[in-house]
Amino acid sequence: MGLKTKAKIMDEDGIRRAIRRIAHEIVEKNNGVENLGLIGIRRRGVPIARRIAEEIKQFEGVEVPVGILDITLYRDDLSSLSHQPVVHQTEINFPVTGKKLVLVDDVLYTGRTVRAALDALMDLGRPMLVQLAVLIDRGHREIPVRADYVGKNVPTSKKEVIHVHLAEIDGDEAVYIMEKEDE
């Protein structure tokens, strides 16, 4: 089953503005950057988290620590996959206990990734609070999860797929809606 591009819904400028706005909202909602940490969910949450930290550094002059979370071992669908996905390292080089953490991912869909990420985080310590930032919220939640910061809300059908392209991973900057082609 192939995928065909249906529409480009964000370009480079759009992505940059959304990430900049999210950075401001995070600082505003948390009354500053004290005790703040950003946790990017592998893979595309990681460059987004780094960019948010970069933005915050520019307007607040403070470096917010960025960690990388790999949630593979916490997934709930391992037994239904045809073979095991590669596990990567979680690299969070600061204590999470007592911190205000913002989980960062590219797309929020069923919410299952966020559930896995929360479980993974709790095994590393006891954060003071955890918030969620996503570049795209496409709906269709299967568990009660909502994002605190959203770059763009995109109503989709379940036949559609969101592809986020980031320079660090994909070489270009764009968000596309793709559609599954019928057999």
Partner 1 sequence: MKRKHLLGLQELSKEEINTILDIARPMRDIIMRDIKKVPTLRGKTVATLFYEPSTRTRSSFELAAKFLSADTLSINVGSSSVQKGESLIDTIRTLEAMGVEIIAVRHQQSGVPKFISLNTKMSVINAGDGFHEHPTQALLDLFTIKQKLDKIEGLKVAIIGDIYHSRVARSNIWGLIKLGAEVTVCGPPSLIPVEIEKFGVKVEINLQRTLEWADVVNVLRIQRERQDAGYLTTLDEYRDWYGLTQEKLEKLKGKKLLILHPGPMNRGVEIDDYVADGPNAVVNEQVTNGVAVRMAVLYLLAGGNESGNVD
Binding site for partner 1 (CB under 8 A): 70, 73-74, 78-84, 86-90, 119-120, 123-125
Please identify, using beta-carbon distances, which residue of 90 and 156 lies nearer to partner 1: 90
- Side-chain-side CA neighbours of 30 within 13 Å: the count stands at 27
Least Å distance, CB 77 to partner 1, is 10
Least Å distance, CB 67 to partner 1, is 13
Least Å distance, CB 75 to partner 1, is 8
- Is omega for the bond preceding 43 within 30 degrees of 0, making it cis? yes
Please identify, using beta-carbon distances, which residue of 31 and 82 lies nearer to partner 1: 82
Please identify, using beta-carbon distances, which residue of 48 and 92 lies nearer to partner 1: 92
Please identify, using beta-carbon distances, which residue of 70 and 106 lies nearer to partner 1: 70
Report how far residue 152's alpha carbon sits from residue 174's, in angstroms, rounded to the nearest whole number: 13
144 three-state secondary structure:
coil
Q: Which residue has the tokens 């969910």?
A: 41
Least Å distance, CB 66 to partner 1, is 17
Q: Give strand pairing partners of 165.
A: 174
Q: Are 47 and 168 in contact (CB under 8 A)?
A: yes
Report how far residue 123's alpha carbon sits from residue 126's, in angstroms, rounded to the nearest whole number: 8
